[in-house]
Structure 1
């Protein structure tokens, strides 16, 4: 007989009450007696869109009525219809009960009618590994509604948390930086996704510091609400940033970065243009400075840059572009609707990428529709390609127009190491695959694929 089975039932149940669902499974395997004393519920879920489940009140009563020895692996609560604040206590009762049951995976998808504060018990859960808080379905969340993280308990500690997703969260830093304290309470945090953050005090916001973080996705972080952003993430290997450029990135530590996706945005206050006497334009970056962020990309191996504001930022701060020794794959995403999507930055970036192997143009080749056979002066006649080591050129939306063919010829003729050209064409109305214009090439292979 195993040692666990020899213990009294009350002792076994007491031990199990401290275990997570994963640990309880191991215990049930080891102890034959234990299998009859507690239950593992892999997933407990309530979705108000599912009428079969009944009322939320009945669901909560059922959860609380479970035996104390019952473990819960995953708990998903989805209330997309705006929740009456009077029911917040009911939500918290259910949440606190589940936290006591060793939950590993927690997701709250709630349409909040007004401020909803998480219970203190959430910030001291020792078992939860993955958390997703989503308030995007709240009506009017841009005006102060949604999840609120205000004051964390002094003993805030989430020792097992590895993945954290925050969607439409408001941090009211009344007693210090709640966001910073939350990150500090997660010693094993590896993945962080941020969407739609709101801040109350500018001087305490914008600091993202984590020695263990490996993946970071930022969308709508709202740096325009404060002047500086700190990215102190020495273990970060993946960065995806789609957000407004703050006044300054005061500290940037991206020493371990392997892959980066950048879609930088200028706020409305910063988006006016400056024109020179020759009709050229440039954006006014006197209030936004991504210099340290650009410098922090020196170790990246895979990089994707998207849309016009990012292009303009890289060109305007081209002196900050570091030598990217590890960069072997570069993707440039162009928007078909942007008439002025010049790639002024490209010569400067490619000249700083001595080991680049693959260049992907996600979209159409850039050219002047009024003068399709001319080369846009932003590309300086493609002379910068003569020293570029690219072996593979990929274009994801090749239309075979006269302008595209002329520009593609320059790439083929001037890239000295080019071995392969991959063209993908979307079949459009009136386009004949057999008559799609493709330049001839002797030094490399050209492969064309199609999709509707």
Structure 2
């Protein structure tokens, strides 16, 4: 197969619209000659100078790039116009500084970037500048995948890696493959990787290499696998972001070991499946954001939170029997989505008490139903400003009335719909200024409920209604109905806004 490379360039000292148009025309020219030009990529390298580079290479060799590249004026100042034109006519992209070329190659997939090493002697070593590696064995057999990975790492030598992504499927009883994947992970850790994303399919638990849990440079770690036993010692002094989407069985020390070894962790996301024992305590003095979701029921389990600096909590899944300790003094926003509803023996009030300092609170219909069993002990939410509330029945509306009494600063209230509201539950006097109703259908019954609901909202300034569907006649009628609001003591400054529910 003959090698064919096309280059098109357009340059402007000031990146004007005209310069961009010329670049677009040249990019179109390249596309007409070869339909396999890659996507456009923007790279920031300086200011006051814009360089457009479009390249195309036969698919066998892999390099495909088209886009605007911003470069520093110093990079082209030494080259006069004639030499620039002469260079561009031969090989424009190779003229770019290595720093820019490295960013271009890092924006491509690893397979495409590695294939550029056949272009010339210069390009053979250019791949060492790539700091993002991603490997996926979904469409290859074991031998070809291993061969590609080995060749790629040989080209890279021991240069630093910024991000490493691995997606692989370990075949049944393939111990050799498990060992190879472990060595690969250990290799990138040794090279000072900053971010790792692992998606490993295995029929049984996979034990990650201990080197992964002793990295001094790792900042972000994402795991999606059947998680095996953790090493006895974990030390990740630079880790700030940890995401675990895993099947876990009988590893009660899962978070005890991990969090103890992550002194600067700021964000933790847990999606746990088939777990038989929940970690008893999630404790970290540095954690700021926490998302917890588990998809299986855990009987007779409890969970404590000792997170004094947490500002965001997203908790969903089956509620537990008890939450003995909840230290969330700095919490600003909380989302609760318990399921399934209607199980009275699971006491969630300690958790509700622990989030009493929030400013923003989201309660799903299932969470409201769960809290209804215990709302007589509802705390005072002195800082609550915004509340999103879903309801299933009359008990839920009674809980909302109680929440309004216990939230003296509440100004923004979102109601997911008026399902189950009959008007028999009157709302207390409150300070709500904005009412947002979701899923409004424009029926006469809904309008009646809304009128009844608003009777005690003396401070209301805006009523926003999101209408289901795209029937503009319903929107028009809903606007007219809401503008009238006869018999309701709404202040004259109150505005009505009707929008389409997205």
The TM-score normalised by the length of structure 2 is 0.68
> 2: CA distance between counterparts of 1:219 and 1:366?
27
* 2:212 alignment partner, one of 109, 122, 129: 122
- For 2:413, the equivalent position in structure 1 comes to 359
Matched residue of 2:150: which SS?
helix
Distance 2:159 2:498 in 1: 57
Q: In the alignment, what sits opposite 1:45?
A: 134
SS at match of 1:205: coil
Are the structure 2 counterparts of residues 37 and 228 from structure 1 closer, same or farther at C-alpha, using a change threshold of 3 Å?
same
Aligned to 1:307: 365
Structure 1 residue 190 corresponds to structure 2 residue 269: no
Q: Which residue of 1 aligns with 2:242?
A: 164
Residue 332 of structure 1 deviates from its aligned partner by 1.4
Greater helix content: 2
Closer, same or farther: CA 438–78 of 1 in aligned 2, 3 Å: farther
Greater CA radius of gyration, 1 or 2?
A: 2
Equivalent of 1:60, from 125, 137, 149? 149
Aligned-partner Cα distance in 1 for 2:232–2:343? 44
Q: Which residue number in structure 1 is paired with residue 302 of structure 2?
A: 228
Q: Please tell me whether the aligned partners of residues 357 and 390 of structure 1 are also in contact (alpha carbons under 8 angstroms).
A: yes
Tell me the CA shift for residue 199 of structure 1.
4.2
Asked if structure 1 preserves the Cα contact closer than 8 Å seen for 2:275 and 2:298, the reply is no
> Could you tell me how far apart the structure 1 residues matched to 2:297 and 2:330 are?
23
SS of residue in 2 equivalent to 1:72: coil
Which whole-Å CA distance do the structure 2 matches of 1:185 and 1:63 have between them?
32
CA drift of 1:205 comes to 2.8
The answer as to 2:209 corresponding to 1:153 is: no
- Distance in 2, Cα, partners of 1:313 & 1:243: 12
Shift of 1:367: 4.0
Conserved 8 A contact 1:262-1:305: yes
2 CA distance for matches of 1:285 and 1:237?
29
What does residue 39 of structure 2 align with?
A: none
Q: 2:432 aligned with 1:390, yes or no?
A: yes
- What's the CA shift for 1:56? 2.2
Counterpart in 1 of 2:347?
A: 289
| Distance in 2 of aligned mates of 1:418 and 1:127 | 52
Q: Match for residue 256 of structure 2?
A: 180
- Confirm or deny: 8 A CA contact 1:223 1:229 kept in the other structure: no
Q: Partner of 1:438: helix, strand, or coil?
A: helix
Which of these residues, 303, 320, 329, is aligned with residue 386 of structure 2? 329
Q: Report what 1:410 is aligned to.
A: 452
Structure 2 CA distance for partners of 1:42 and 1:83, relative to 1, 3 Å: farther
SS for the counterpart of 2:431 is: coil
Secondary structure of the residue aligned to 1:77 is: strand
Q: Which runs of 5+ in 2 are unaligned?
A: 1-101, 103-124, 486-491
Q: SS of the counterpart of 2:358?
A: coil
Residues 357 and 55 of structure 1, relative CA distance in 2, 3 Å threshold: farther
State the alpha-carbon separation in 1 of the partners of residues 203 and 142 from structure 2. 22
| Cα distance in 2, alignment partners of residues 222 and 430 from structure 1 | 43
Cα distance in 1 between the residues matched to 2:150 and 2:300: 44
Number of residues of Structure 1 aligned to a counterpart in Structure 2: 370
Measured against aligned partners, the alpha-carbon deviations of 1:378-424 in whole angstroms (never above 9, x if no partner) come to xx233x2xx21000001121111112101111233320100001111
- CA apart distance, 1:350: 1.3
| 1:307, distance to aligned residue in structure 2 (A) | 1.7
Gaps of at least 5 residues in structure 1 are 1-20, 22-35, 136-145, 272-282, 369-373
CA distance in 2, matches of 1:197, 1:180: 18
Query: What is the Cα deviation at residue 215 of structure 1?
Result: 0.4
* Contact 1:128–1:158 (Cα < 8 Å) also in 2: yes
Pick which of 221-230 and 292-301 moved more.
221-230
Alignment of 1:76 onto 2:165: yes
Q: Is the 8 A contact 1:328 1:357 kept in 2?
A: yes
RMSD of aligned alpha carbons: 2.9
Contact 2:401–2:426 (CA under 8 A) maintained in structure 1: no
Q: Is the 8 A contact 1:229 1:249 kept in 2?
A: yes
State the TM-score, normalizing by the size of structure 1. Answer: 0.75
Distance 1:435 1:205, change over 3 A: closer
Q: Which moved more, 1:219-228 or 1:407-416?
A: 219-228
SS of equivalent to 2:455: helix
2:289 matched to 1:215? yes
Which structure ranks higher in relative contact order (CA pairs < 8 Å, sequence separation ≥ 6)?
1
Three-state SS of the structure 1 residue aligned to 2:217 is coil
Q: Measure, in 1, the Cα distance between the counterparts of 2:436 and 2:136.
A: 44
Shift of residue 345 of structure 1?
1.1
Structure richer in strand, relative to its length: 1
